Structure 1
Amino acid sequence: MAKIVSIINHKGGVGKTATAANLGAALQIRGKRVLLIDMDAQSNLTDCLGVSTELDDTIYQAMRGYIPLPIVKNEDGLDIVPSCLDMSAIEMEIMQKYAREQILHKLISQVQEQYDYILIDCPPSLSILTINAMTASDCIIIPVEAEYLAMRGMGRLTNVIHEVKNNLNPKLRISGILITKYDRRKNFNQDIQEIIRDTFQGDVFTTTIRTNVAIGEATAAKHDIFHYAPKSSGAEDYASFCDEFLKKESTFN
């Protein structure tokens, strides 16, 4: 049965989609069967991995109950459940549904045995879609940019995680906080890193994702970092993060 991992931060621009794409690719390189699910109406994960955002079958149709999870394979061999702009309306459309928080969990349960890891790229909000992802997940990765504003709202996010754990998904836990867009030459980045590590103690991954232009270039080229620039510092950091993640999660198997 796949381990289900949500990648969440309700603040945008923190490297959430890059983390989903590149952790997924790193896991695949290590021989794991991986499925990526794009839950964001902006469809950034879908687009950055070279899948059309105008397909007829997307996570939207599945959440509405019209189809099972639609899985497509991109050029680099990653399995992806694509998103679309219609997802922006899904909250109103499922609001009256019974067990609306469980919709994604039920969809995933039909394919869970086919994969080792299922990674969910969540929208930058604490919406019913994010709650669906938390309800379906075993654990959560929280990417946090090494900037002052990164700490704002973290208390609210952790409170929502605890609420979901207490009321909807008792097995849910935080795998760790991943510091992204880090530049060790900047004293400010170092200070923020120390504050994050002091505040969240053992919940922070040792690996940091350094600021690296190749990560953005890979996104524009519609590939993960390992297929686009395998010798870049971005590839090095996400490979290191993947190894740390696997080692940490092995204690929960």
Structure 2
Amino acid sequence: MSRTDDISNLFSRFGATSDSYHEFDSQFDYPNTPPAQVKSPLPAQATAPVPVGLPLVAPAQEVLVQPEVQAPLMSSADVATPLRNLLAEVALARQAETQSLQAQLRTPQCKARVVVLVSAKGGVGKTTLAASLASSVRLEGGKTLAIDLDPQNALHHHLGIASGVTGMGSTHWSSHLQQGFNDVQVLPYGVLSDEQHCALEREMSQDRHWLARQLERMALGTHDLVIVDTPSGRSAYLQQALDVADQVLVVTAADAASFIALEHMDRLLGADVARSYVVNRFEPDREFSRDMLQVLKRRLGAQLMAVVVQDHSFGEALAYGHNPLAAPAGSAGGEGVLQLGEQLKTVLQGTRAAGISAP
């Protein structure tokens, strides 16, 4: 097929004829290889045309490179300082940082004897018993301090202290101690706002030795005694108290609910925590109460330290703001508390002697 036929077919496809088509010969002689084209640089703000059919691509954004953080340059005074002095300053700063880290890692030491009262359930008279022991037990040559770690904030009422006093929310505990019955020093839990309460529990959760550090700052002596009341069941307060405890007293009652809760108490304390049990509010006139006491004795064995009978004079003393142990004629419940206190002193003195003789 000739070139003329190709042109005729092309015009026919578009519905036209090639009668008016004429070719003109070019007068220019083009070389076979065109010279290389040199592209001129575009202005900074110029935008190249986008070819048709290609996807649009956003122009690259300018990347800012942040300079490295460097130590501050020496001042003219530093330059004039002898090198040995500058090195000494660096060594002192490193030593202070090391001491701060060691202080955080060091386990704080409390010289006083610490007795912690716990219970698996409420209603067994734990706080009443804690107040009675605090006001009646004192080691020779020392003082007794009662600390309320229970947010119910009830311990100070049993020790004759007015409401509304500052407690756990204070920074320096030593300056906020209250005077209770028989010269016992009392640190109430206090009235805390929701924010203060959350902040306190957050501190406890972040520092497992929080309570130990607080007691260490109080500079207690080896003859001092600390009685700690805790809320029933599992809590951050219980874990803090167990961390410092020399003696753990589990307060229970001679009833079915308390017996069932003993297994839960064993799980809370774990196998490594030594504990003694006190059956409180025992009712000797009731046959069922006597039977339950026998069951508890079989269950607890040598861990049962004492049995304190039910005594309504403790509730009456709380109502009138009196010390229930100050009555001339001792009640049955009061006698039980005093006997428990003597047993407790014997145990604490034994642990102290063992600690002194240990290598």
Task: Say whether the fold is shared (TM-score over 0.5).
Answer: yes
What CA distance in whole angstroms lies between the structure 2 residues aligned with 1:17 and 1:85? 17
Match of residue 137 from structure 2: 27
Matches within 5 A, 1:20-59: 20-28=130-138, 33-55=143-165, 57-59=166-168
Output the TM-score relative to the length of structure 1. 0.84
What CA distance in whole angstroms lies between the structure 2 residues aligned with 1:244 and 1:230? 22
Structure 1 or 2: larger strand share? 1
**Count, aligned residues:** 239
What CA distance in whole angstroms lies between the structure 2 residues aligned with 1:29 and 1:252? 13
Match of residue 332 from structure 2: 233
Match of residue 188 from structure 1: 288
- 1:35-79 deviation per Cα after TM superposition (whole angstroms, max 9, x unaligned): 000111211111221223312x312x14xxx33353111254211
Asked if 2 retains the 8 angstrom alpha-carbon contact of 1:53 and 1:82, the reply is no
What CA distance in whole angstroms lies between the structure 1 residues aligned with 2:148 and 2:325? 20
Distance 1:28 1:210, change over 3 A: same
Q: Please tell me whether Structure 1 or Structure 2 has the larger radius of gyration of its CA atoms.
A: 2
What CA distance in whole angstroms lies between the structure 1 residues aligned with 2:308 and 2:290? 13
Asked if 2 retains the 8 angstrom alpha-carbon contact of 1:21 and 1:224, the reply is no
Q: 1:128 Cα deviation (Å)?
A: 0.4
Matches within 5 A, 1:48-197: 48-55=158-165, 57-59=166-168, 61-62=169-170, 66-69=171-174, 70-74=176-180, 76-86=182-192, 92-94=198-200, 96-97=202-203, 99-111=206-218, 112-113=220-221, 116-162=224-270, 165=272, 172-174=273-275, 176-197=276-297
Asked if 2 retains the 8 angstrom alpha-carbon contact of 1:218 and 1:229, the reply is no
Identity of aligned residues (%): 17
For the residue of structure 1 that corresponds to 2:227, the secondary structure is strand
Match of residue 168 from structure 1: none
Q: 1:84 Cα deviation (Å)?
A: 2.2
Once structures 1 and 2 are overlaid, which stretch shifts more, 66-75 or 16-25?
Answer: 66-75
Match of residue 13 from structure 1: 123
Provide the aligned C-alpha RMSD in A.
Answer: 2.5
- 1:113-148 deviation per Cα after TM superposition (whole angstroms, max 9, x unaligned): 275210001112311011111112112101111111
Once structures 1 and 2 are overlaid, which stretch shifts more, 29-38 or 90-99?
Answer: 90-99
Please tell me the residue identity of whatever aligns with 2:274.
Answer: R
What CA distance in whole angstroms lies between the structure 2 residues aligned with 1:87 and 1:129? 17
Output the TM-score relative to the length of structure 2. 0.61
Structure 1 or 2: larger helix share? 1
RCO (CA 8 Å, sep 6+): is it higher in 1 or 2? Answer: 1
Distance 1:107 1:199, change over 3 A: same
Runs (5+) with no aligned partner, structure 2: 1-110, 353-359
Runs (5+) with no aligned partner, structure 1: 166-171
Asked if 2 retains the 8 angstrom alpha-carbon contact of 1:41 and 1:88, the reply is no
Distance 1:87 1:211, change over 3 A: farther
